[in-house]
Amino acid sequence: MSSFYEDEGRFRGILGWIFSTDHKRIGLLYLLAIFAFSAVGVLLGFLMRLELMAPGPTIMRPQTYNAIFTLHGVIMIFLFVIPGIPAIFGNFFLPIQVGARDVAFPRINLLSWWIYMAGAGLAVLSLFTGGGPVDTGWTFYVPYSLRTPVNVPLAVFAVFILGFSSILTGINFVTTTHQLRAPGMTWFRLPLFVWAIYATAWVQILATPVVGITLLLTLMERLAGVGIFDPLKGGDPILYQHLFWIYSHPAVYIMILPAMGIISEIIPVFAQRTIFGYKAIAFSSLAIAVVGSFVWGHHMFVSGQSDLASIIFSLLTFLVAVPSGVKVFNWVSTLYKGSIEVSPPLLFALTFIFLFSIGGLTGLFQGALATNVHLHDTYWVVGHFHYVIFGGTGFAIFGALHYWFPKMFGRRVGKKIPYLAWALLFVGFNTLYFPMLILGWEGMPRRYYDYLPQFHSLHLVSTVGSWILIAGLILMFGHLIYSLFRGEKERLENPWGGATLEWQIPSPPPRENFAEIPRVERGPYEFR
Amino acid sequence: MTPEGCGLKTYILVWLGLVVLTGVAVSVAGMDLAGWSTAVALIIAFLKSGLILLYFMHLREGGELRFLRWMIPGVLAILFLFTGLTFLDVAFR
Amino acid sequence: MENHRNDGGSKLGMWLFLLSEILLFGGLFILYSVYRFQNPQIFHLAAEALNRPLGVLNTLVLLTSSLTMALSIFFLKKGSPGRSLLFLASTLFLGILFLFNKYLEWTWKVQLGIYPDAPRLLERERGEVLFYGLYYSMTGLHGLHVLVGLGILSVMLFFILKNKINHNHSVPLENTGLYWHLVDIVWIFLFPLFYLIT
Ligand code: HEM
Ligand SMILES: [Cu+2]
């Protein structure tokens, strides 16, 4: 049977890709776009670290620095990690894993890729039009975003458009999971990756519109001066923060839940042992999605919100750490007495657990009211969210790339280089971000262009870390690209011995995945 | 979901109900209910929405998408929680 | 490639979209409740200056349009596209009427110098600025939804004429109906919150 690469459908060549409604092709379109944007994001991060290598002006002017950290944040959050796993791996594997030929709405799926590209295009356009690149930070806080002369209107509109794409993707995945499961694929036979994407999809559907309206209002505020968020006209800027975080805290779960789903796939396969506490993991995804929707106020402890609100949000924040902990314990227990093979995917998964735990535990420090006053808006927070987002989601993506590479591209990844790349990434990552935790603890504020001399040495260490990390990224992606063209052909359907459905069809999969819709008779982690 | 599920007559009755409820809302607004008028107005609005959801939007009939019925209350509950938590701030500053 | 039509799926997708819409407006309702809580008296006085008869008229217009929408689907499923078309066209007409009334209402207000960022408005109390900010944002967003709805209704009209949707394949019209009813429901809440507060 020919694979989905050969069978082009209605159009040929590049048109056969950008107008394809095949979920696998759309997944790869996203992959290309998302990694291209993230490369720009990495470059911007590299530039910021260079600037901070020494106190005082180093390579750029302050306003440039403000624009760069904003753009870095906007790209990484809205163009990379939020769409990341659902749009790439969710698109590619969710339909296969539930035993379907495609998602429920293939054309809307394609549309959402186009909307994503349009949003990204507008974001790029915003750099060169109006007052130039935005300098507000990715949070677009009012009242500053109402006063700054830069091109806020177009930038917030771009993010609004991106949100629309996210909602459509979410609708597709919920419907697919409900409607297109193969016969015998009961809810508790769904792979945990599907559960994670499913829970995420609900958050995408229900939380994204709230930031949508917030950004629309900010846009109207800029264009028409409505006054709802403008303190000069009686508006309350803190309400902007409420609405913004009602979405943006759940958004961190849009970023991390799918990553947790990937880890739940990789670990049992490489331990050849059924997952420990399937239901606990599945339901903790839902619990995180639900409870996580009501903790947003922990971003606003020093905003001037009421003390009562702060106390309750702090309490809820501690609660939401529980289901995350449940998952970590389940993964570790799965490994216990397994026949473990530390292949690159597992190595990245284990690194996820380690780095995510640091990220999560630092989050608890921030969730405590008294310490938060000290830590808020410092490099501690920067360290925290890089540990969870990059150390968590980022490393899960690396793991997923190595895990699913043979299936997606029909080629194998070499045996040695991934370990070397991993070592560089791991060392580089911690050298880059751990000093940030200390810097923040010592009082270095975030989003600053300059700093006091006593912070110099840690900043220098951090900058050196960024070089090691980037070397690791170049090595890893270089090797993956090399394997794409030169890697050994993967002839096996199931090189790792996985038990989910994607390992029962050819690599790469044929156009409609299954010659015949499978009948599912066992769970996703019943090996042999 | 068969068209027989909702007859012509039902539709027209529902519409009449909606119009009557609108009338009630407007006349109640003229009375002095000492702080209760907003509550009454909202209750009437919920009743009207309920009629539309159940009859015009066919939630009453169930079918394979029966679980949809729980979604609207679910989403409203989420919205109330969002509002409630926001009020923990604005009402206690 | 085989045709993967899945009617239950399309409806579920539409409902999910509607849930998303509820929270889009939900954000505005949160803002409304906070600002009204903070400025009860001013909101009350400002609301009295709105044109209540026109608000009532528009409520009746939209409610009736919901009825005609439901009837249009009813007749399409029964296999009488002619009557379905008639009711669909009435829905379209009522939608346009609604927007026309809105247009009148907004123009009168603008002529009085009450519109966002207007010097006359900014001279007034803060609460009133907020009231009108919310009024324009919420009815504006709602109006935009009506406008989009009118576009979809026209497409449906065309599809029925071309027999692209009929009693065998009525889901697009049913989904249009779901959207239209939701827009109606939003108005059902906007109406008392802006025109009836006392
Ligand atoms: C145990 C779980 C977690 C807890 C208790 C927690 C707690 C917190 C708190 C309290 C803050 C606010 C700090 C401040 O600004 O003062 C924060 C910020 C942040 N967190 Fe987490 N967090 C957790 C997990 C995550 C995850 C999983 C992600 C993303 C995948 C994440 C991403 C972020 C981001 C991006 C920020 C910074 C937002 C900004 O720009 O201000 N967090 N976290
Ligand atoms: Cu948060």
| pLDDT range class, residue A237, cuts 50, 70, 90 | very high
Length of chain B: 93
| pLDDT range class, residue A12, cuts 50, 70, 90 | confident
- State percent of chain C over pLDDT 90: 83
User: Exposed/middle/buried for A485, CB within 10 Å: 0-12, 13-18, 19+?
Assistant: exposed
> What is the C-alpha to C-alpha distance for residues C124 and A13, in angstroms, rounded to an integer?
62
Mean pLDDT estimate for chain A: 94
* Binary contact (C9, A236; C-beta < 8 A): no
* Binary contact (C29, B91; C-beta < 8 A): no
- The reply to whether B28 falls in a domain is yes
Residue A474 has which token pair?
């170049």
| pLDDT range class, residue B6, cuts 50, 70, 90 | low
B83 interfaces chain A, CB cutoff of 8 Å? no
Q: Identify the nearest ligand to the CA of A254 by its number.
A: 1
- The reply to whether B1 falls in a domain is no
pLDDT at A481 over 60: yes
- Range of lowest pLDDT (A179-193, A276-290, A398-412, C27-41): A276-290
- State percent of chain A over pLDDT 90: 88
pLDDT at A11 over 80: no
pLDDT at A231 over 80: yes
pLDDT at C1: 32
- State percent of chain A over pLDDT 70: 99
Domain ranges of chain C: 2-195
pTM of the model: 0.94
| pLDDT range class, residue A14, cuts 50, 70, 90 | confident
A177-192 mean pLDDT: 94
Tens of pLDDT along C125-145? 899 999 999 999 999 999 999
A305-313, long-range: CB < 8 A, 24+ apart? A305/A238, A305/A242, A305/B89, A305/B93, A306/B88, A306/B89, A306/B90, A306/B91, A306/B92, A306/B93, A307/B92, A308/B88, A308/B89, A308/B92, A309/B85, A309/B88, A309/B89, A309/B92, A310/A369, A311/A369, A312/B85, A312/B88, A313/B85
Residue B48 has which token pair?
């009207």
C17 interfaces chain A, CB cutoff of 8 Å? yes
Tens of pLDDT along A427-474? 999 999 999 999 999 999 999 999 999 999 999 999 999 999 999 999
More confident residue, A11 or A91: A91
Ligand 1, residue A364: give the atom nearest the CA.
Answer: 5
- The reply to whether B17 falls in a domain is yes
CA distance C101 to chain B (A): 18
Domain count, chain B: 1
Q: Which domain holds residue B56?
A: 8-91
| pLDDT range class, residue C76, cuts 50, 70, 90 | very high
CA A89–ligand 2 middle distance (angstroms):
25
pLDDT at B4: 46
A216-226 mean pLDDT: 94
Q: Which domain holds residue A466?
A: 15-504
> Which of helix, strand or coil describes residue A445?
strand
CATH of the domain at A206: 1.20.210.10
pLDDT at A393: 97
pLDDT at A5: 87
pLDDT at C98: 97
pLDDT at C5: 58
Q: Give how far the C-alpha of residue A253 lies from the chain's centroid of Cα atoms, to the nearest Å.
A: 9
pLDDT at B3 over 70: no
Tens of pLDDT along A17-39? 999 999 999 999 999 999 999 99
pLDDT at B31: 79
Tens of pLDDT along B31-85? 777 678 888 999 999 999 999 999 999 888 867 677 778 889 999 999 999 999 9
pLDDT at C2 over 60: no
Domain count, chain A: 1
As for the ipTM of the complex, it is 0.94
pLDDT at A1 over 70: no
What residues pair up with A411 in beta bridges, in sequence order? A489
Q: Which residues of B touch C29 (CB under 8 A)?
A: 79, 83
Kindly give the residue spans of alpha helices, DSSP state H, lying in C79-170: 81-111, 119-123, 126-161
Chain B residues bordering chain C (beta-carbon distance below 8 Å) = 3, 6, 8, 11-12, 14-15, 18-19, 22, 25-26, 29-30, 32, 37-38, 41-42, 44-45, 48-49, 52-53, 55-57, 64-65, 68, 71-72, 75-76, 78-79, 82-83, 86-87, 90-91
- Range of lowest pLDDT (A8-17, A161-170, A400-409): A8-17
- The reply to whether A372 falls in a domain is yes
- The reply to whether A525 falls in a domain is no
Q: Which fold has domain C2-195?
A: Four Helix Bundle (Hemerythrin (Met), subunit A) (1.20.120)
What is the C-alpha R_g of chain B? 17
Residue A463 has which token pair?
């900058």
- The reply to whether A6 falls in a domain is no
Residues with C-beta less than 6 Å from any ligand 1 atom: A 139, 252, 255-256, 298-299, 317, 321, 324, 360, 363-364, 366-367, 372, 375-376, 381, 384-385, 388-389, 392-393
| pLDDT range class, residue C3, cuts 50, 70, 90 | very low
- Answer whether A502's CB lies under 8 Å from A509's CB: yes
Q: What is the dihedral of CA A194, A200, A205, A209, to 10 degrees?
A: -160
pLDDT at A15: 86
Q: Under 8 Å CB-to-CB from A325, ≥6 apart: which residues?
A: A360
Look-up: residue for tokens 């709230």? Answer: A210
